[in-house]
Amino acid sequence: MAIERQTVIYDGPGGPFAGVAVVDGDWTEPRPGVLIVPNVLGEKEQDRVTAERIAALGYAALVADLYGKGKRTTRESPDPAVYMNALNADRPLLRDRLFASLAALHALPHVDASRTAAIGYCFGGKSVIDLARAGGEVRGVVAFHGIFDPPGYAYPTPIRPRLLVCHGWDDPLAPPQAVMDLAAELSGAGADWQIHAYGGAGHGFTDASMTGSTRPGFGYNPDADRRSWSAMTGFLAEVFE
């Protein structure tokens, strides 16, 4: 196995964008592709490591850049959510940048464009649900501790991509009523969906950098992390059949 990283520059509204493609260079045939949408901070090392784990499963991965080349924040930034907030305020723009990122994944030479999926974390979880809502050309999406508010624009139904939503039940950003509202929305839109809720887990339960968080409802949960990754691997194997 020879896991390789490569920066991919692609166009889109407000671009250029700089994503990172990760593949097993020992593979010669096209394989399923997985778009990875980062959390509030944007593309970073943590996402590249996730992409390497995806590549080790036998897929090609592309870490999406929704903010624009060079536009990144850290937890120590004066406003870590500055770029996310701009897209939350313009969900059609978010949709269009997701489509641009997906087109970049489809264009990778290692990718079978007929077999793609998307996964996302926190804001990225919200984003991949929007990608499914908007009719993105993916077979399925997986949201980890995402946010569920609808985008405010009409979208095509039935929703075609299958959805797996991995949710920390104690997440204050997506309380139980928001989960019920999402289930009702997806059912009304004719989607094939499943929601896995993890008791005792909150927002960011896959993020090991949040270990020891004292903020109520936020923090790493190793059991939920492990269980949700296992659920994702089974889901991807199913949608790529």
The CATH number covering residue 21 comes to: 3.40.50.1820
Tell whether pTM > 0.95: yes
pLDDT along the chain (241 residues), means of 10: 94 98 90 98 98 97 98 95 98 98 96 98 98 98 98 97 98 98 98 98 97 96 98 98 93
The Cα–Cα gap between 80 and 75 comes to 6
Q: What token pair was written down for 215?
A: 């903020």
How many folded domains does the chain comprise?
A: 1
Is 98 in a helix, a strand, or coil? helix
Give phi and psi for 44, each to the nearest 5. -160, 180
Q: Is 183 left (phi over 0), alpha (psi -120 to 50) or beta?
A: alpha
- Residue 46 is part of which domain span? 3-239
Spatial CB neighbours of 29, under 8 Å, sequence gap ≥ 6: none
Sign of the CA dihedral with 109 first, then 12, 94, and 73 last: positive
Angle between helices 123-133 and 91-107 (to 10 degrees): 80
SS3 68: coil
pLDDT of res. 167: 98
Per-residue confidence (pLDDT) for residue 59, from 0 to 100: 97
The token pair at 235 is: 């889901």
Give the distance, in angstroms, between the CA of residue 55 and the centroid of all CA atoms in the same chain. Answer: 15
Q: What is the pLDDT of residue 26?
A: 86
Quickly list DSSP for 177-218: HHHHHHHHHHHHTT--EEEEEETT--BTTT-GGGTT--STTB
